[in-house]
Amino acid sequence: MEKTTLMVRCQRIGCDATFSEDDNPDGSCRYHDSPIFHDGTKEWSCCKKRSHDFSLFLEIPGCKTGKHTAVKQVIAPVKKNTTPPPTAVSSTNASSKDTCSRCRQGFFCSDHGSQSKPVNVVDKSPNLVGDVSAVNNSSVKAPKPKKIVDINEPQICKNKGCGQTFKEKDNHDTACSYHPGPAVFHDRMRGWKCCDIHVKEFDEFMNIPPCTKGWHSADPES
């Protein structure tokens, strides 16, 4: 009788691959440490890579390597120091405000402790027709070439909450379990708008069961 290989999902944050105990060499897992959430920015404490978009944040490749594990990781999200900056503004601070993108756009900046002067808006209404045609011309983009994939080639599904390895020959309209999203972060709660489930801990958020069935997709933008 042929032995059945039991595949389990890796519990490390940033990996989400499936593996078996018989095929789990050192270095096969790429993962991250704790995430940091601050002022709408998501950042990995280990490699300091960040993103405002949660989907792009989860796609940042892991910076650490090791073996896969089926043991649920206990994660304590790292909080950034929210101590307000000193009120005295030095010449260096004033110079950095001039180059800070948030200050230059007129938004409140926690790094510099004050709101910069508003940005002057130039009225271009007399040349509205020319501007509209220029916008229309710039918005026309060449179609993205469709990637040709062998039906037996293993691919990783990029749908939110899935991450499974699949082959196109086995793909069908209920093969994938995923979240259509979007992810919601509000008042220290994390959840999915699609299924209206919200939790406090990041690892609990990552383990919320997908609520939708569909096709696996290795390239959601196509």
CA angle 8, 12, 14 (to 5 degrees): 110
Is residue 68 over pLDDT 50?
A: yes
Q: How many CB atoms lie within 10 A of CB 43?
A: 19
- Determine contact, residues 146/222, Cβ cutoff 8 Å: yes
pLDDT of residue 136: 55
Over residues 112-139, the mean pLDDT reads 52
What is the DSSP code (8-state) at residue 101? Answer: H
- Determine contact, residues 163/157, Cβ cutoff 8 Å: yes
Q: Pick from 66-75, 93-102, 142-151, 171-180 the range whose average pLDDT is largest.
A: 171-180
pLDDT of residue 222: 44
Residues 192, 208: Cα–Cα separation, whole Å: 9
pLDDT tens sequence across 18-39: 888 888 898 889 888 888 887 7
- Residue 126: cis peptide before it, omega within 30 degrees of 0: no
**Which domains does the chain possess?**
7-66 (4.10.1130.20), 154-214 (4.10.1130.20)
- Name the pLDDT band for 203 (thresholds 50, 70, 90): confident
- Determine contact, residues 205/199, Cβ cutoff 8 Å: yes
Residues 215, 15: Cα–Cα separation, whole Å: 21
Comparing CA positions, the residue from 68, 113, 71 lying closest to residue 93 is: 113
Which of 1-5, 48-52, 119-123 shows the lowest per-residue confidence on average (mean pLDDT)?
Answer: 119-123
pTM over 0.85: no
